Chains A and B, each alone.
Chain A
């Protein structure tokens, strides 16, 4: 990602006659795939699991919802099973579950006899101590966010940042692990692109290693710069796309001064 910035500049320089145009590519159609997105956090519920399906590339971005599925989240540690209620088509909500760090959660989905399952443990929470902005180190007179937090002493912490800019969740994928920066106060800036007056809410999520791998591979899929782009590595068994994330949340908001 960092080298690709340099690569990008190099390409720009050499390709002074480079050009970009929209083209028609005749893409195959594909059988609809199930897509699951589910979250359980250490904040009060209810928690949401959505089930949708994929469409062909040339279709509109309208993704069919999947109704009538059996969705159960079990807190194995506490011994509580919660069968989710489909409130609106494809959206399934918990009613009794409370996310607790250290607890083991199991997701079970039966959608038209397609079974998707996974088990995850909620990591220990890390608090987002403060949040400030600074001029982007990439130049261009934009601002970048600097979240400040303290990585726990033990190795094996994984983080995902969800950034809500002017009330919209951005598509930036910001993930970190502590392999090289264990146990420190972290003040690494996130990517730039913010303007004065932007209102930003930043959520620090402590995720598990499977979700880290999911986001890592999702970013690869979105960047499309590998020789062989592929689907992100889901933590769900049974062939579903998407993820089930059991994570902790800590957030701060800021208006870029």
Chain B
């Protein structure tokens, strides 16, 4: 049973056919062909708030950088979601940090969802069925991150016929094979994608560049098999790797691996069970080879996760969902080994994250729907690695040793969640929601965008779990017989135990992290407007967000509240898809947002004969506003009985706006007496063409 982001409508179909979930999904998907976001009748009556579900068919129509269709870049066009930077797949949700998004691929956490320093996501759109985003309002079965849950589901594969499809693009090519294992009872899907950017390096005159590597690949595979009328087994896996190398001198490779084994069992007409065993791994390696010294820096985070979830359709007005999950985390904090050097290794960090939850979806009356539940999470810090006792000034007072496997400390956090919809009439409703979320793993990052060497750390005696409380209120309305949909949602979120680096901290080595950190609170609030046209030749949406996101960290900016990097006051996205005729589909998107808060110097002084810039406050300035228009045209080539293909032309940043990627300050090269600000922009007028086929 597809338990994530399911809708009541889908559910009722499921119940009719008991186990025929995949089959019943098929007609639903066809109905949605002309639809941008899933059925809106639900959106009015369901109690769920702050949620968007995207079908991969729609994602495929939206213009993208280098023609690489990208789930993570598409969700950045939704209200309340913000890009971390131009062309980047990282995102912020409702003023939260990038590490506060729980990104799941078939239930498995993807710790680094990006390739090539953030310009591409790890999700090959050919392997994806659908994507659901919860903006801090996820039901109780989800937990572990403050800001959002992005639940990505892999395609199951066609259980009727074999297909081979693929695409050839500017940056990458991909191939997808799917078909039945046994007709009606099982299917498989294998997709692969590899970039060939490194081919261009070979054209370089520079010998070092010539020997350099720069590529990534993704492999997705999924099998599902109906064991009996009551049992269905799913096995899915992902493996991806980035390889960046500079002529054998330096190398950086990193990648994720995930695996999910899920057993779906129907106990009786009213009770369903889902049992999953899930594996997630992210690791990076840095290799240095120079002057007789070779060194390798390795860091890794690895999870084993057991989940059990039961769904009970207790009565026509109540459906219950309850279960537990138990995750064993292992973090290797960054071990340095090699020849010609003194090895520097730190013991692994282990922790155990558990949760139990129960959630009831209650149709209280014909007008009132209430979804309420609680998740109780527990995080146990396990011994083996060094823990520290700090002085008031943050220096290490004492190193604490605990035996391996010994429970040092356990945090318990009850996370109540409730939302309700009150239907005003056939076409409109009011919704109200509250949710508490906790987060025990934190990504310690000090880079301007996503960096593969950013470190995940678990909560411990010093680093407390992050906690957020969010209230939201919304109005939902459908217009013109559901052709259009309008919604406005407001939210206020308070976040405890937020983490930041001290000024000037060395973030690369593997020395104790705790003395380098500062802690404080965050708050974010905003208004999100969304207007969608869902049927017809022309579809699309407009989303606008007015928001604020602030931090108060002890030790930064005199302990005052200040705008966080995620703070973008205005954020507008417009998406239009026009089906001109059977051959051509045109699409376009436009994005505008206020520049994020940034730290600039407020003066300068001289050290050893060179000017050094003086910083007086953190995040005290703003980047200039961002705006961009993208265009795309898809041409369906002549269809044959067993073969179809299409050409996709796209133009990213069509009017060539120079959006600042970074602004730096430097000595004026033409006047030794002056200093100047320099803006770097990345992508202007990036055209691309790709060819997709299916047979």
Contact = CB atoms under 8 A, between A and B. Distances in A.
Contacts of A33: 603, 605, 614
Interface residues of A, number: 73
A19 interface: yes
Given A33-B605, A180-B344, A228 B616 contact: no
Interface stretch (B405-413, B524-532, B672-680): B672-680
Interface string A5-22: 111011101110111111
Contact of A5 (B200, B250, B616, B685): B250
Interface string B591-624: 0000000011111111111111111101111000
Nearest to A155: B342
Given A13-B197, A224-B665, A181 B250 contact: no
Given A139-B206, A228-B618, A10 B679 contact: no
Nearest to B246: A6
Contact of B341 (A2, A15, A37, A181): A181
Contacts of A228: 446, 500-501, 503, 599, 618-619
Interface in A1-49: 2-3, 5-7, 9-11, 13-15, 17-25, 27-30, 32-33, 35, 37
A57 B119 CA distance: 33
B112 interface: no
A218 B506 CA distance: 11
A231 B615 contact: yes
Interface stretch (A76-84, A95-103, A184-192): A184-192
Contacts of A30: 602-603, 614, 616
Give the interface SS of chain A, mostly helix, strand, loop or mixed.
loop
A213 to B, nearest CB: 8
B445 A227 contact: yes
Contacts of B482: none
Nearest to B677: A25
A160 B658 CA distance: 40
Interface stretch (B258-266, B291-299, B627-635): B291-299
Nearest to A162: B608
A188 B290 CA distance: 8
A21 B682 CA distance: 12
Nearest to A181: B341
B390 interface: no
B288 interface: yes
Given A9-B209, A228-B503, A62 B673 contact: yes
A228 B608 CA distance: 24
A66 to B, nearest CB: 12
Contact of B208 (A13, A21, A139): A139
A137 interface: yes
Give the interface residue-count category, chain B.
35 or more
A152 interface: no
Contacts of A9: 209, 212, 214, 246
Contacts of A57: 601-604, 613, 665, 675
Interface in A56-113: 56-57, 60-63
Interface in B252-292: 252, 286, 288, 290-292
A60 B605 CA distance: 11
Nearest to A1: B508
A28 B602 contact: yes
A17 B673 contact: no
A19 B448 contact: no
A157 interface: no
Contacts of B682: 11, 14-15, 17-18
Given A2-B250, A169-B609, A13 B293 contact: no
B677 A241 contact: no
B685 A17 contact: yes
Contacts of A61: 604, 606, 611, 667, 672-675
A223 B540 CA distance: 43
A20 B680 contact: yes
B675 A17 contact: no
B116 interface: yes
A233 B610 CA distance: 17
Contacts of B663: 23, 25
Contact of B605 (A28, A53, A227): A53
A112 B344 CA distance: 47
Contacts of B535: none
Interface in B554-610: 565, 599-610
8 contacts: A6-B245, A6-B250, A20-B679, A33-B614, A62-B673, A137-B290, A227-B599, A241-B612
Which 10 pairs between the two chains have the least Cβ-Cβ distance? A217-B504, A230-B503, A54-B605, A139-B208, A30-B603, A30-B602, A15-B682, A25-B677, A180-B341, A35-B605
Given A20-B681, A187-B292, 14 more contacts: A9-B212, A20-B679, A23-B678, A57-B675, A137-B290, A139-B206, A140-B206, A180-B336, A188-B290, A216-B506, A229-B599, A230-B503, A233-B503, A241-B605
Interface of A: 2-3, 5-7, 9-11, 13-15, 17-25, 27-30, 32-33, 35, 37, 52-57, 60-63, 137-140, 146, 169, 171, 179-182, 184, 187-189, 213, 216-218, 220-222, 224-233, 241-243
